Amino acid sequence: MGCEDPEAMEENQQLVRSLHCAFSKWYNSSVRAEGPMAMSHQTNGSRSLKIQMEDFTSKWQALMPPRHTSIMHVCPILSFLAVFFVVPVIVGNILNRPQMYQETRYILLANVLLSDLLFVTVYMLSTCLNAAGVLMLEWACTTQLFLLAALFSSGILSTMAMVLDTLLAVLVPLRYFALWPVSRTRRAVAGIWAVSLLLPAGVVGVFTWYLSGTCNLHLCSVPVLLVLNVSYSPPLQLAMLLSVAAILLILLLVFSGYVAVCCRTCKAGVWKGESSSRAKGTFLIHYLHLFLSFCPMLVLAYKLMWYCYYGVQDLRVDLWLSLVMCNVLLMLPKALAPYLYGFRYRDLRKALLLFYGIRRGTPIEPIT
Model confidence pLDDT, tens digit, residues 130-151: 877 777 887 888 888 889 999 9
- Cα separation, 103 vs 180, whole angstroms: 10
pLDDT at 19 over 70: no
- Cα separation, 198 vs 210, whole angstroms: 20
Residue type at position 261: V
Contact 60, 19 (CB under 8 A): no
Mean of all residue pLDDT scores within the chain? 76
- Cα separation, 126 vs 115, whole angstroms: 17
Hey, is 182 helix, strand or coil? helix
CATH code, residues 66-349: 1.20.1070.10
What are the b/e assignments for 91-126, b being 16+ CB within 10 Å?
Answer: bebbeeeeebeebbbbbbbbbbbbbbbbbbbbbbeb
Q: How confident is the model at residue 269 (pLDDT cuts 50, 70, 90)?
A: low
pLDDT tens sequence across 86-125? 999 999 999 888 888 888 889 999 999 999 999 999 999 9
Q: Please provide residue 59's backbone torsions phi and psi, each rounded to the nearest 5 degrees.
A: -115, 30
* Residues in Cβ contact with 306 at an 8 Å cutoff, skipping those fewer than 6 apart: none
Closest CA to 109 of 351, 353, 296, 355: 351
pLDDT at 349 over 70: yes
Secondary structure (DSSP) of 2-49: ----HHHHHHHHHHHHHHHHHHHHHHHHHHHHTS-------SSS-HHH
| Separation in Å, CA 66 to CA 61, 222, 286 | 7, 19, 37
Section 32-38 average pLDDT = 42
Distance from first CA to last CA of the chain, Å, rounded? 82
Domain edges within the chain? 1-59, 66-349
- Cα separation, 22 vs 253, whole angstroms: 43
pLDDT the model gives residue 229:
65
What are the b/e assignments for 150-173, b being 16+ CB within 10 Å?
Answer: bbbbbbbbbbbbbbbbbbbbbeee
DSSP letter at 136? E
Beta bridge partners of 136: 218
pTM of the shown model: 0.79
